[in-house]
Structure 1
Amino acid sequence: MGLKSGLDMAPYQASLDWIDRQQKAMVRQVEAWSCVNSGSHNLPGLADMGAKVTEAFSALGGNFESIALPPSSHVTPSGDLEPLPLGPVYRFQKRPDAKRRVLLTGHLDTVFAKDSPFQVPRWLDDTLLNGPGVADMKGGLIVMLHALLAVERSGLADDLGWEVLISSDEEIGSIGSAAILTERAPHAHIGLTYEPALADGTLAGARKGSGNFSIVVRGRAAHAGRAFHEGRNAVVALAEVIAALDGLNGQREGVTVNPAVISGGAAPNIVPDMAVLRVNARVKTHEDARWVEQALEEIRTRISSREGYDLMVHGGFNRPPKPISGANQALFDVVARCGDALGLKVAYQATGGCCEGNNLAAAGLPNVDTLGVRGGKIHSSDEFVLVDSFAERAKLSAVIMLGFAQGHFDQALMQEGA
């Protein structure tokens, strides 16, 4: 049947029943994976997690490669640039020349450092599991894996080519993997990303873009008593910068600028000659991003024009905004219809958060980016997953891919250019 008249689920039922039988195994797997610290900067932990993911995804067959990323750079608290090593991207691919192709993306890094006190999962009750990465997004990787396993078992995937990209740097902005996302996006027709859905199953719609900036102000040190006026106080100049950045809030709808982390100075009796500020900006449009960048340049010029001062801005907008194009809305509608076929209500809401889906959309690939487990309180030690959502969400992705493979969505998607 076509999309408008509903999906005939009979050809998929054996695959969906198989997913239901994997529910307990999926929960055991997320418990085990949650015990592996894979903070974005913990390279040994990322390697351990990468080995586990590679072993699990090897059951799909196809081709595999580990793509090493060159080091990025990082502004230290002393204002210097130093290399920042990154973990690799893990790539799995099957039937790359198929008539219909899907790109699935996810990440194995978490926001929890190797010295974080939050290291192991625990049960809150029979339905809620609390633990690092259980929702964001080791749970999502498990949903992706089992959906693909079900597709491969179905005997209906001959016309479906799929590619999986699993990064190690998503939680720090995909600073290395973004280029690979951009390069691979044009080779697919649709994208599926496995960030967690909200606890009630709501998915993300439009997303804001995000930029991270490190601002380094250098002045001139001097004795705070004997030669105060010979100094050029970098901390005072930075305070002016912070006020100017905070003043941008409210000037354009949907634009927020958050001066977040500061460092500088050495001792109270020394005029500080260096100060560093780390800033995040969120924007709804590319024009908003240019406006923020222009404001930063005006601040840089104003401070640097003063005798004895220099201001440098590092960073940029690494996550483009994700407005909802016609092609993306068509894909959203397809996913909602797949949910209907399973008895799941699929709704979307705009969010200020961002993810790999932003990068895929900017590269022209319509995508749905919250197809992982249902959960909440991510990026905190209260992160949880609703364990019943493992089979539920894996079945949703399996139906999306199987329906797509069989051409049921061609008319709905292709008329919008997806």
Structure 2
Amino acid sequence: MVDYIDGRKESAMSLLEKSVNINSGTMNFSGVRKVADQLMPEFEALGFDVWFEDGAAFNRAGHLIARIEGGKGPKMLLIGHLDTVFEPGSPFQTFTRVDDKQIKGPGVADMKGGNIIMLEALRALYSAGKLSSMNIMVVMTGDEELSGRPLALSKKALIDGAKWADISLGFENGDGNPATANVSRRGSVDWVLTVKGTPAHSSQVFKPTVGAGAIYEASRILTRFYDKLRSEQLLTFNPGRIMGGTEVTHDKLNNSGSTFGKNNVVAEHAIVTGDIRAVSQEQLVRVQHKMTAIVQQNLPQTSAVIEFGEGYPPLSPKPGNHELLGIYSKVSQDLGQGSVTAVNPLNAGAADVSFTSEYVKMALDGLGMSGSGGHTVNETALVSALPAQAKRAAILMSRLSER
């Protein structure tokens, strides 16, 4: 399999170039579908049943799904995504070979490179006569970068795949370092704090009938969040937007708003929006309860409510994930590529693999391209990473199938 992958270096790079040169910003539905149409015949040639799940129900392009079943070994779910953050209006549209070591382009690392790594690993298994006796499902989502809503619909294919599978393998680029992989990713949930005060002339602030006003109450709540929650290990919580005054309008869809207020009027309204990133579902629920309790301890003549939105669940660092990392690290060492350690969860954002955590026995992410500058016009990837990562993935899946 190693020699097979080495023999396909240029063909694999050419396939990646063609994929990158198709704009597939999440909201460019036709572009996302074109990337799927490019890859579907490649999976069919390996013996997969392949179909495209339409995303109209959740206002996205949809997902590529492929499956092959032929043995008694573990069921593996392989995860990729077709979309990028670069919409048609972006100036960053084309694949470039920077030199013999680096390539540049929208999605070379996040994560069209990972898609091709997955495909090349499967080709190697096919060439070795192993693939037809394995149980593998591929889900390449069309909305990883900007998920469709409701999540119950947009992530259903992933969740159904996870319920079918024993093991999930994500081909995201992790932290860009080939010496690491993700056994854990923090979940991400948005929140909105809405505060009301009693309007009055500022000369009356703090009097029993007027109280503190909405802005003081919002400040109290945020300060208490900071004091009571920042000691939580691997937790971050961030207020990203605050508006307050006599009148406040909040445009949640466009992450904007407007305010009107005067220095001599006690603020009647305040709105704060932010997110929480937690390493486990238990931590997330516990922190939400703490935040809610803080919000309810109001200053005089104020009231406040906090609402938590849909979000990505955590990929919790359970023992099976660490066991899988150990197997992957041994593969890497056997290939002469060195050991692989776990990415610090503080350096790992949310990803589609997290939706599988509740259902599979083992999960590992970060098997994709090594690179840097993701989500920017400076996104680059290492040429050597494509064959190197494909070799590791192929041998990992081969060894897992024999367990």
| Counterpart code for 1:283 | A
SS at match of 2:375: coil
Q: Could you report, residue by residue, the CA deviation over 1:232-260 in whole angstroms, capped at 9, with x for unpaired residues?
A: 97666555544444444422122111222
Say which of 180, 185, 202 aligns to 2:157: 180
Say which of 242, 258, 270 aligns to 1:265: 258
**1:17 corresponds to 2:3:** yes
What's the counterpart of residue 339 of structure 2? 346
| Counterpart code for 1:116 | S
Distance 1:240 1:268 in 2: 20
After superposition, where does 1:22-37 map in structure 2 within 5 Å?
A: 22-37=8-23
What's the counterpart of residue 286 of structure 1? 281
Say which of 125, 135, 140 aligns to 2:109: 135
Say which of 18, 25, 28 aligns to 1:42: 28
After superposition, where does 1:243-258 map in structure 2 within 5 Å?
A: 243-258=223-238
Say which of 173, 177, 182 aligns to 1:196: 173
Contact 1:207–1:322 under 8 Å retained in 2? yes
| Structure 1 residues 219 and 69: CA distance shift in structure 2, 3 A | farther
What's the counterpart of residue 57 of structure 1? 43
Q: Higher mean Cα deviation, 172-181 or 192-201?
A: 172-181
Q: Could you report, residue by residue, the CA deviation over 1:258-312 in whole angstroms, capped at 9, with x for unpaired residues?
A: 2224543344569987665442222233332122211332255456x98686645
| Counterpart code for 1:192 | L
| Counterpart code for 1:333 | G
Contact 2:126–2:132 under 8 Å retained in 1? no
| Structure 1 residues 120 and 272: CA distance shift in structure 2, 3 A | farther
Contact 2:114–2:369 under 8 Å retained in 1? yes
Say which of 53, 69, 72 aligns to 1:95: 69
What's the counterpart of residue 415 of structure 1? none
Cα deviation for residue 54 of structure 1 reads: 2.5
Distance 2:229 2:295 in 1: 18
SS at match of 2:145: helix
Contact 2:102–2:383 under 8 Å retained in 1? yes
SS at match of 2:337: coil
Contact 1:140–1:196 under 8 Å retained in 2? yes
Say which of 137, 141, 145 aligns to 1:167: 141
SS at match of 1:185: helix
Q: Flag structure 1 segments of 5+ consecutive residues without an equivalent.
A: 1-14, 73-84, 411-418
| Structure 1 residues 276 and 71: CA distance shift in structure 2, 3 A | farther
Q: Flag structure 2 segments of 5+ consecutive residues without an equivalent.
A: 243-255
Contact 1:99–1:161 under 8 Å retained in 2? yes
**1:150 corresponds to 2:124:** yes
SS at match of 1:362: coil
Distance 2:5 2:132 in 1: 20
Cα deviation for residue 210 of structure 1 reads: 1.7
| Structure 1 residues 124 and 278: CA distance shift in structure 2, 3 A | farther
Distance 1:377 1:46 in 2: 22
> Size of the alignment, in residue pairs?
379
Contact 1:209–1:320 under 8 Å retained in 2? yes
Distance 1:140 1:161 in 2: 20
- TM-score of the superposition, structure 2-length normalised? 0.80
| Structure 1 residues 55 and 248: CA distance shift in structure 2, 3 A | farther
Contact 1:212–1:278 under 8 Å retained in 2? no
Contact 1:92–1:164 under 8 Å retained in 2? yes
What's the counterpart of residue 382 of structure 1? 378
Contact 2:43–2:50 under 8 Å retained in 1? no
| Structure 1 residues 154 and 321: CA distance shift in structure 2, 3 A | closer
Say which of 107, 110, 117 aligns to 2:81: 107
SS at match of 2:331: helix
SS at match of 1:340: helix
Q: Could you report, residue by residue, the CA deviation over 1:310-343 in whole angstroms, capped at 9, with x for unpaired residues?
A: 6451414522242131x32322222122222222
Say which of 313, 320, 324 aligns to 1:319: 313
Distance 2:31 2:266 in 1: 41
Distance 2:268 2:37 in 1: 46
What's the counterpart of residue 192 of structure 2? 215
- TM-score of the superposition, structure 1-length normalised? 0.78
Identical-pair percentage: 24
Distance 2:181 2:223 in 1: 32
What's the counterpart of residue 390 of structure 2? 394
Cα deviation for residue 133 of structure 1 reads: 1.0
Cα deviation for residue 98 of structure 1 reads: 4.2
| Structure 1 residues 242 and 382: CA distance shift in structure 2, 3 A | farther
| Structure 1 residues 308 and 387: CA distance shift in structure 2, 3 A | same
**1:119 corresponds to 2:96:** no
Contact 1:289–1:317 under 8 Å retained in 2? no
Contact 2:312–2:354 under 8 Å retained in 1? no
Distance 2:6 2:131 in 1: 20
Q: Could you report, residue by residue, the CA deviation over 1:322-366 in whole angstroms, capped at 9, with x for unpaired residues?
A: 2131x3232222212222222211311232213233332322330
Q: Could you report, residue by residue, the CA deviation over 1:15-46 in whole angstroms, capped at 9, with x for unpaired residues?
A: 33222122112222222322333233333332
